[in-house]
Chain A
Amino acid sequence: MKKGIIFLGILITVFLTGCSKPCDYTAFNESKPKSILVLLPENKTANIDATNAFFSQLTRPLSEAGYYVFPIAVVEETFYQNGVTVAGEMRNVSTEKLRQIFGADAVLYFDINQYGYSYGILSGAPEVSASGTLVDLRTGKTLWNNEITVQGDSTSYFNVLGLLLNRILDNISDKYYPMAGMANSTLFDPASNRCFMYGQRSPLYKG
């Protein structure tokens, strides 16, 4: 029961932080991107684990939303081979160039704003926070941007997601990893209120 209540708290936090503005789908609808290039996130926190936790868990929600997501490690390797090694530099590559190299319709720029314990006025709580911007590589237009904050008891995420049952994940010792996963899957779930749209590979896509 205690875990249930903790989880309830998390749910309410996720819901409350997402109820603010109505969605404007105009640009997204005009663009109808089929594929998304995910660049290495810009980590604005002091925690070096944050980048990998968020980066490795972006592919799934974006794919399940119906987009082709470029293989993040292969993309990263391609940048490295061309001498581009940090997130900030990747972001400076022009949309034309990205389109030419990867043939992607859109690029996702992703910022990690908080990763770990945050001390509030009333009490401290583990918190992860991130924001993303989706830009059309053919027109340079911004299609979507939004942010997410997830708070709560990070250990309960392991239980809720069933992650502890998976042996390979024993190698993941970062306790905020499941919170990053929860943040991403909420932010890019078109059924949540983050204004993200279904892509054409989703059975829920509305053309």
Chain B
Amino acid sequence: MFIKKLLPALLVLLVVGCAKKDIYNWDDYEATLYLYHQQGKVNVEEQIKLLEKNIDKSRAKSLLSPPGLHAHLGLLYSNIGKIDDAKNQFKIEKQLFVESATFMDLLLNQKTRNLK
């Protein structure tokens, strides 16, 4: 059947397509973005651990953390009252991605009670 002959060829195409190397280390970051909106399924501390693990691995293997990861971690810290840690993450985000400067400055300059 022709489909059986075509399949390996297409799979090869697929594999070649997937071989493109990612710019960033995504480990669990996408999942934490999902979990953030699944209220109560995985608690904030556990979400924080996932992101800290991502950062540790990125550092150890000289990989880049994705855009937004540090800012998102900052949001999670602020949710459990760790305001200094939160601000530190916003600063790191700004340092890594200059495009975020306006927004990070806004977050850094707002009164802490405005952060949930």
Chain A residues with a Cβ under 8 A of chain B: 1, 4-5, 8, 11, 34-35, 51-53, 55-57, 59-60, 63-64, 66-75, 77-78, 81, 101-105, 166, 168-169, 171-172, 177, 181, 191, 201-203
The answer to the question of B61 belonging to the interface, with a C-beta cut-off of 8 Å to chain A, is: no
Identify B75's interface contact among A67, A69, A73, A202, CB under 8 A: A73
> Is there an interface contact between B100 and A70, defined as CB atoms closer than 8 Å?
yes
Q: For B114, list chain A residues within 8 Å (CB).
A: 81
Per the bound structure, the CA–CA distance linking A78 and B116 in Å amounts to 10
B108 contacts the other chain (CB 8 A) = no
Asked whether any CB of chain A lies closer than 8 Å to the CB of B109, the reply is no
Q: Convert B13-30 into 0s and 1s, putting 1 for each residue whose CB lies closer than 8 angstroms to a CB of A.
A: 010010010111010111
* B-side contacts of A72, CB under 8 Å: 33, 68
Question: In this complex, what residue of A is CB-closest to B36?
Answer: A73
Contact of B30 among A57, A75, A171 (CB under 8 A): A57
Roughly how many angstroms separate A73 CA and B50 CA in the complex, as a whole number? 16
B67 contacts A52, C-beta separation under 8 Å: no
Please tell me if the beta carbons of A103 and B34 are within 8 angstroms of each other in the complex. no
Q: Which residues of A contact B28 (CB under 8 A)?
A: 166, 168
Tell me if B38 is interfacial: C-beta within 8 Å of chain A: yes
Which B residues form the contact surface with A (CB < 8 A)? 3-4, 6-7, 10-11, 14, 17, 20, 22-24, 26, 28-38, 41-42, 50, 66-69, 71-72, 74-75, 93, 97, 99-103, 106-107, 114, 116
A175 to chain B, nearest CB (A): 14
Total CB contacts across the A-B interface at under 8 A: 127
- Are B31 and A168 in touch, CB under 8 angstroms? yes
Known interface pairs A4-B7, A59-B67. Does A71 touch B31 (Cβ–Cβ under 8 Å)?
no
A168:B50 contact, CB within 8 angstroms:
yes
Using Cβ atoms and an 8 Å threshold, which residues of chain B touch A181? 30
A74 adjacent to B75 (CB under 8 Å) = yes
In the assembled complex, the Cα of A42 lies from the Cα of B20 at a distance in Å of 31
- Residues of chain A contacted by B107 (CB below 8 angstroms): 74, 78
Establish whether residues A63 and B50, one from each chain, have CB atoms under 8 Å apart when the complex forms. Answer: no
Please give me the 7 A-B residue pairs with the lowest Cβ-Cβ distance, nearest first: A103-B102, A71-B68, A68-B99, A35-B99, A56-B34, A56-B33, A71-B71
Closest to B73 in A: A71
Cα distance A140–B31 when bound, in Å? 32
In the complex, which residues of chain B have a beta carbon less than 8 angstroms from the beta carbon of A66?
23
Q: Give the shortest distance, in Å, between B28 (CB) and chain A (any CB).
A: 6
